[in-house]
Amino acid sequence: MAFRFHDTLTGATRDFEPREPGVVRMYNCGPTVYSSPQIGNYRAWTFVDVLRRSLELGGYDVRQVMNLTDVGHLTLDEIESGEDKLEAASRIEGKTAWEIAQHYIDEFFEAVARLNFARADEYPRATDHIAEMIEIVEGLIASEHAYVTDAGNVYYDVSSFPAYGHLSKNKLEDLDAGARVGVLDEKRHPSDFALWKRDEKHQMQWDSPWGRGFPGWHIECSAMSRKYLGDELDIHTGGEDNVFPHHECEIAQSEGFTGKTFVRFWLHNRHLLVDGRKMSKSGGTAYSFEDVMARGYSARALRYLLLQTHYRLPMNFTWQALDAATSAVASLDVAVRGMVEDATAAGDAALSATCDRLDAAFLAALEDDLNVSAALASVHELKSLANKHGPFSASDAARVRATWERFDSVLGLDLLATAAAEPETHADDAEIQALVDARTAARVARDWGRADELRDELAARGIKLEDGADGVRWSRA
């Protein structure tokens, strides 16, 4: 297998080789659980899911960890105000910070299931790993990468880590020049970032060598990735906004602590735009997963839409595009469901070679820095082939299904299962069936007026009819 990925740190697209042959250790930035993620976040996680599934299709054993950040991000403003996002949500919603976190974690996993994301091996919560964070902070202090202030706060000394800024291509001088003024004289450099904040009034607080308080934002990822994947990761992902400061700080922490190269490949996805503009809460375009579902779209259509654009390109979300994705998924369902297998059918000599070619093209596209858009061309070519083909011999049908399975192992659209699934039952099924039968009777009697009237009536109830050679099939819109 020959994957190539674009690495943010080196700025180059390089041949991918994990440290241990055949095994990929991957850490993904997950949700911060103080509010509902918007669909842009789901773009990031769809990318992660497709990446993980592609690596598995390519034969790798993937060890995947996605963090759940359930402590508030400790940022400059929050040091000043003493209130982080979780605390703010707690105040506004009238629940404890712990309740807020749990609520949004539950919501996240609901979406994970509906979007058919393969489950990571671990979803560690920051609040369960305070001891591991303290261990690293102590180590950083011992090695003089960090210092404790008179107030009992601990900061990372960025001047102690020459590579600080390499990931984001920032120069320390430029960062310092743009730094905000007026606060935090206790920091030695404006760019020093907090590892531990002493605060006995904070809802979430723990004992530490520096007094009761809570950890900084970046340290949990250094601690949890190390605990579950070791000191050296093959892949670390996140949205482009995480490049700085989050991942920049992680490198400083992890490498400052272990002295080893933290990550071999940094993969960052570009943001999702809405109608060509940045998503905005005030503009009403920061749609959540639930918002999209509430408009009647399927999670499968959203998944298809999110995965069809290359992850390193800005993607433009429009409702029209989601309509197109809905149609595209439906057409795949028709093709899979419509395959007819006939034991007496003659074998198609060319079929196997065609499937081999599509299989190879699909994987080759994914290997090329996860070019899903190009891979989809193979998927639709198989769709077209299946639609055009007459009855398949048993072995040909098996060959085509195997290709659908390979494709779907990455697409995650449950194509075969959806095609094979029995329709959901509803209370009025018998009633609908009676109307359908009545229409069939009218058609047999060549009473087209009555037949169309019944079809209109069914359509009004959301029923779509398809008159096929083997009878009428109906489905709910």
Partner RNA sequence: GGCGGCAUGGCCAAGUGGUAAGGCAACGGAUUGCAAAUCCGUGAUCCCCGGUUCGAAUCCGGGUGCCGCCUCCA
Touching RNA, residues 208-237 (CB under 7 A): 217
- Binding to RNA, residues 23-42 (CB under 7 A): 29, 31-32, 37-38, 40-41
Per CB under 7 A, contacts with RNA among 135-194 are: 168-171, 174-176, 178-180, 190-193
State which of residues 277, 295, 357, 476 lies at the interface with RNA (CB under 7 A). 277
Q: What are the residues whose beta carbons fall under 8 Å from the beta carbon of 181, sequence distance 6 or more?
A: none
Paired sense of beta strands 277-278 and 272-274, if any: antiparallel
Residue nearer to RNA on the CB measure, 212 or 369: 369
In the complex with RNA, the residue whose CB is nearer, 208 or 308, is 308
Q: How many residues bind RNA (CB under 7 A)?
A: 88
Confirm or reject binding of residue 338 to RNA (CB under 7 A). yes
Q: Assess 465 for contact with RNA (CB under 7 A).
A: yes
Query: 10 Å Cβ neighbour count for 21?
Result: 7
Q: Shortest distance, CB of residue 20 to RNA, whole angstroms?
A: 26
Q: Which residue in the set 276, 296, 390, 471 belongs to the binding site for RNA (CB under 7 A)?
A: 276
Q: Can you tell me which of 331, 352, 393, 418 binds RNA, judged by CB under 7 A?
A: 331
Q: Is 324 in the site for RNA (CB under 7 A)?
A: yes
Q: Which stretch binds RNA (CB under 7 A): 58-66, 341-349, 382-390, 398-406?
A: 382-390
Closest separation in Å from C-beta 207 to RNA: 25
CB of 183 to RNA, least distance (A): 11
Q: CA angle at residue 128 from 124 to 129, to 5 degrees?
A: 85
Looking at the Cβ atoms of 209 and 244, the one nearer to RNA is 244
271 contacts: CB under 8 Å, gap ≥ 6: 40, 43, 239, 240, 241, 278, 279, 314, 315
Nearer to RNA (CB atom), residue 12 or residue 417: 12
Which of 250, 232, 271 is CA-nearest to residue 140?
250
| Residue 21: CB minimum distance to RNA, A | 27
Least distance from RNA to the Cβ atom of residue 164, Å: 10
Give the position of tokens 């009633």: 431
Q: Does 468 bind RNA (CB under 7 A)?
A: yes
Pairing of strands 61-66, 23-28: parallel
Nearer Cβ to RNA, position 77 or 437? 77
Nearer to RNA, 38 or 90 (CB): 38
Rounded to the nearest whole angstrom, what is the least distance from the CB of residue 432 to RNA in the complex? Answer: 15
Token pair for 415: 């194509």
CB-CB neighbours of 99 under 10 Å? 13
Which segment (112-120, 125-133, 271-279, 347-355) binds RNA by CB under 7 A? Answer: 271-279
CA distances from 115 to 36, 106, 109 (A): 15, 14, 10
From candidates 18, 245, 256, 412, binder to RNA by CB under 7 A: 245
The smaller minimum CB distance to RNA, of residues 83 and 368, is found at 368
Closest to RNA by CB, 11 vs 22, is: 11
Is 267 a residue that touches RNA (CB under 7 A)?
no
Sheet with 146-148, edge to edge strand ranges: 146-148, 154-156, 193-198, 213-215
Selected from 128, 323, 342, 356, the binder of RNA by CB under 7 A is 323
Cα→Cα distances 207→61, 124, 198, Å: 38, 20, 9
Tell me the C-alpha distance between 47 and 124, whole Å. 20
Q: At 62, phi and psi to the nearest 5? A: -100, 125
Give yes or no for a contact between 149 and 180, defined as CB atoms under 8 angstroms apart: no
The least distance separating RNA from the CB of residue 34, rounded to whole angstroms, comes to 9
In sequence order, the β-bridge partners of residue 110 are none
Per DSSP bridges, beta strands 146-148 and 154-156 are antiparallel
How many residues are present in the chain? 477
Site for RNA in 389-448 (CB under 7 A): 443, 448
Q: Does 279 bind RNA (CB under 7 A)?
A: yes
One-character DSSP codes across 235-256: EEEEEGGGIIIIIHHHHHHHHH
243 counts as binding RNA under rule CB under 7 A: yes
* 88 lies in the binding site for RNA (CB under 7 A): no
Kindly tell me the sign of the dihedral angle through the C-alpha atoms of 389, 390, 394, 395: negative
Q: Which stretch binds RNA (CB under 7 A): 128-136, 254-262, 345-353, 380-388?
A: 380-388
329 contacts 304 by C-beta, under 8 angstroms:
yes
When binding is defined by CB under 7 A, the residue of 88, 273, 293, 339 that contacts RNA is 273
Q: Is the N-terminal amide bond of 245 cis, ω within 30° of 0?
A: yes
Contacts (Cβ under 8 Å, ≥6 apart) of 417: none
As given in the structure block, the two tokens for residue 169 are 């291509």
Binding to RNA by CB under 7 A, coded x per residue (else -) over 55-84, reads ------------------x-xxx-------
Question: Binding string, 291-320, against RNA, x = CB under 7 A?
Answer: --------------x--xxx--xxxx-x-x
Q: To which residue do tokens 């992660």 refer?
A: 48
CA separation for the pair 27, 266 (Å, rounded): 10
